[in-house]
A and B are shown apart, each in its own frame.
Chain A
């Protein structure tokens, strides 16, 4: 803590580096704006010409958020070794980039689609119901994800400036302002360019964090020797709190990467790629590099954190050590306390500052991508489709920017309100990983529709609509937000019975909410499609059909 509050270099160095980083981002955003051409396709998809390097980096940066540099170390610190297994969700996401992304790219190119809903609604011939549902999925995914990133900005400032009474609030507001500004200015090209820079920073940050922790123990030998002192619960599943049982672990590892890849922002990145080669290269880099960063960069931080700052077991459960304050802050606390001691004040502070910049990069690269995708969804799929179909492209662009601003403000307000322990939302936004798991519960519900459009082409619009609706509803009931939105009033009410049923079911089969939603989603999709086969539009009629190997049936 003292490293940032005493000594000259420990004060001006972080401020200078962070200021330079933020100004640099705004300049890149402005350059992206200068390079852009007029029109929605350029603003939302960078003219569909992103090369493999930019595509790879922006897909990685969008996937990696504050989850990677704050949430994951925090969860390892809380739960122990079991979280190493969660890292194996990353290769699944990599496989999905190619298996799903390539076909999404093909259909997007052929149909001229811009948003996720464009393709889904066109395929099923459902311009209203499905469009609204897909937009709801987008909102339910994007808002918590943006909240995660804003919270990370607050956490950063809280550790960086511990004596500032409003450090968290200032950090959260600053991150929200800068991110929203460069997206509104530049569109997809700015987002992708800044993502590329941010991705390099955050990958370097992940490895730097792991290396710093191992160095703090005097090398790999010393680090591994210290791990032997950890309690058994930290070395096995289901982890310290018992949350990561086998069923939960498996369903998270399957559905979290899928939800993270078929979410609106990634879907648009597949459209924006210049070709399948970009996605093929992106997938292999994603699998090898990102998973390695989690296993060899982030894991040592959380495990070393448990050694340096032993967890407190209280009647309320497991709590972080008093020096840490919040599980999600473990990486920052470790760096703050050890880097200056190991490297000297100036180099240590510089090292810590670079890590802070990496965390900001992780947060902002995900927030910008998601806000940008949400603006496309709301502008094209709601405003342009229903409210003002006659709106010009320029008008829609400005409305999109207004949506970005409004969503950022809404997410910021929720984070600031939830910061208050007395608020009902404080439990909901307590941990970054919790917010991520909440968000993917909804985006994963698009999986049956996605598989059907890209591979099977069997379902009907009623199957898709009813399946998705039932999946979203069920997944929501199993999330931690359900009791907050629908609190029990009276012990004998029907709502109390529903709460009781959900609680007992979740206790018997402790699966991730995405898995719970997937059951009715698939069942209803199949039954409704079977019952409404007459309504089914043949793929050829929709004009966007692919052959079984992904090639178009006819070439324009």
Chain B
């Protein structure tokens, strides 16, 4: 690990910003999916033949998967690079 890359890879600067942004995205997703946001769609309606509440859950599942994928390739991957220096 070169010294120039260390601060960003190990939890400062852009990584930290991204980490916090993703955390806030997860929080908002949960508030929308199973929190107050649910009130918007909580009616016995159908979207393309699928119960609206069911479709709502599936939509937020994809959003959460997207957030996890971004975290996997960015924040988590960089943190893991730092972990390589830990004693095993």
Residues of B within 8 A of A102 (CB): 79, 83
Q: Once the chains bind, are B83 and A276 in contact (CB under 8 Å)?
A: yes
**Do A84 and B87 contact each other (CB < 8 Å), given the known contacts A291-B64, A292-B61, A548-B11?**
no
Q: Once the chains bind, are A85 and B43 in contact (CB under 8 Å)?
A: no
Q: A236 to B76, alpha carbons, bound, how many Å?
A: 37
Chain A CB within 10 A, most for which of B33, B34, B38, B77: B34
B residues near A (Cβ < 8 Å) are: 10-11, 26, 30, 33-36, 38-39, 42-44, 46, 49-54, 56-58, 60-61, 64-65, 68-69, 71-72, 76-77, 79-80, 82-83, 85-88
Residues of B within 8 A of A86 (CB): 34
Q: A237 to B72, alpha carbons, bound, how many Å?
A: 33
Q: Once the chains bind, are A84 and B43 in contact (CB under 8 Å)?
A: no
**Range, interface on chain A:** 35 or more
A residues near B (Cβ < 8 Å) are: 81-82, 84-88, 91-92, 94-95, 98, 102, 106, 109-110, 221, 224-225, 227-228, 230, 232, 235-237, 246, 249-250, 253-254, 275-277, 280, 283-284, 287-288, 291-292, 295, 299, 548-552, 555-556
Q: Once the chains bind, are A549 and B86 in contact (CB under 8 Å)?
A: no
Residues of A within 8 A of B53 (CB): 81-82, 84-85, 235-237
Q: A249 to B30, alpha carbons, bound, how many Å?
A: 11
Q: Which of B39, B46, B60, B72 has a CB less than 8 Å from the CB of A88?
A: B60
Q: Which of B44, B56, B68, B87 has a CB less than 8 Å from the CB of A232?
A: B44
Closest 9 CB pairs of A and B: A549-B11, A84-B57, A232-B44, A224-B49, A235-B44, A91-B64, A287-B68, A253-B34, A276-B83
Q: A249 to B61, alpha carbons, bound, how many Å?
A: 16
Give the dominant DSSP class at B's interface.
helix
Q: Once the chains bind, are B68 and A250 in contact (CB under 8 Å)?
A: no
Residues of A within 8 A of B30 (CB): 88, 92, 250, 253-254
Q: Once the chains bind, are A276 and B11 in contact (CB under 8 Å)?
A: no
Residues of A within 8 A of B80 (CB): 276-277, 280
**Do A106 and B83 contact each other (CB < 8 Å), given the known contacts A85-B38, A228-B46?**
yes
In the complex, the chain B residue whose C-beta lies closest to that of A277 is B80
How far apart are A210's CB and chain B's nearest CB, in angstroms? 13
**Do A87 and B44 contact each other (CB < 8 Å), given the known contacts A98-B76, A102-B83?**
no
Q: A227 to B50, alpha carbons, bound, how many Å?
A: 8
How far apart are A16's CB and chain B's nearest CB, in angstroms? 38
Q: Once the chains bind, are A550 and B79 in contact (CB under 8 Å)?
A: yes
Q: A288 to B54, alpha carbons, bound, how many Å?
A: 17
Residues of B within 8 A of A287 (CB): 64-65, 68
Q: Once the chains bind, are A246 and B35 in contact (CB under 8 Å)?
A: yes
In the complex, the chain A residue whose C-beta lies closest to that of B45 is A235
**Do A94 and B68 contact each other (CB < 8 Å), given the known contacts A236-B42, A549-B82?**
yes
Q: A550 to B19, alpha carbons, bound, how many Å?
A: 14
